[in-house]
Amino acid sequence: MLGGEAKMKEYGYVRVSSLDQNEERQMVEMRQLGIAEENIYKDKQSGKDFNRPMYQKLLRKLKKGDVLYIMSIDRLGRNYEEIQSQWRFLTREKEVDVSVIDMPLLDTRRGKDLMGTFLADIVLQVLSFVAQNERENIRKRQAQGIAAAKANGMKFGRPVKKAPPNFLEIVEKWESGIIKSYEAAEMCGMCESTFYHRLREYRATLNSEKKSL
């Protein structure tokens, strides 16, 4: 409206840490709140920093008085300092309201007085600390699990592609020019880089055997 205040808009921000994670739970909550689909911004990447394309696009859209919904505070960052810093940026510099869906106390539209702000700050500090602590505990448990698995002989990564029994015969055909390297690799059932890797291992073994004679 000409000469009047701009109308407040509601936005949602959804983030999952990797491409194989599903953001549907967060999307369901946003839709139930009645947020228009075009106002929901989604990133599928780690929260290690704020150089996320859709989050940056959202920041450019947000105007004073708008409301931003997030599922939980850890959608804003990975650790205590990041979450605190981003919360202050949104609420004080951008002057938008933030509502954390799974923690109703963290809704800047409520308790705009000094006591309300004070209580919200305390809750934010506690929850951001808990989020960081839980993430660190998860990393420790993962590291302990991997160490235990390795100690029990479990192998990680892709299985090693072994050379076939007729590897020497295939190598001789390749060396004599009868077949190309990609053909030799196909006959071995492996990619060219693996073929060359197995070849280097084979030659190293031959050299070692010759030296031992």
If DSSP states are collapsed to H, E and C, what string results for 135-195?
HHHHHHHHHHHHHHHHHCCCCCCCCCCCCCCCHHHHHHHHHCCCCCHHHHHHHHCCCHHHH
Sequential DSSP letters for 3-66? TSPPPP-EEEEEEESSTTS--HHHHHHHHHTT--GGGEEEEES-SSSS--HHHHHHHHH--TT-
Using left for φ > 0, alpha for ψ between -120 and 50, and beta otherwise, residue 65 falls in left
Is residue 76 within 8 A of residue 131, CB to CB? The reply is no
User: Is 181 annotated in the active site?
Assistant: no
How many residues are given for the chain?
A: 213
Q: Which of 17, 99, 176, 212 is catalytic?
A: 17
Distance between start and end Cα atoms, the chain: 93
Three-state DSSP at 106 gives: coil
The closest alpha carbon to 79, from 136, 29, 155, belongs to 136
Q: Rounded distance, CA 116 to CA 175, Å?
A: 79
Q: Which residues are catalytic?
A: 17
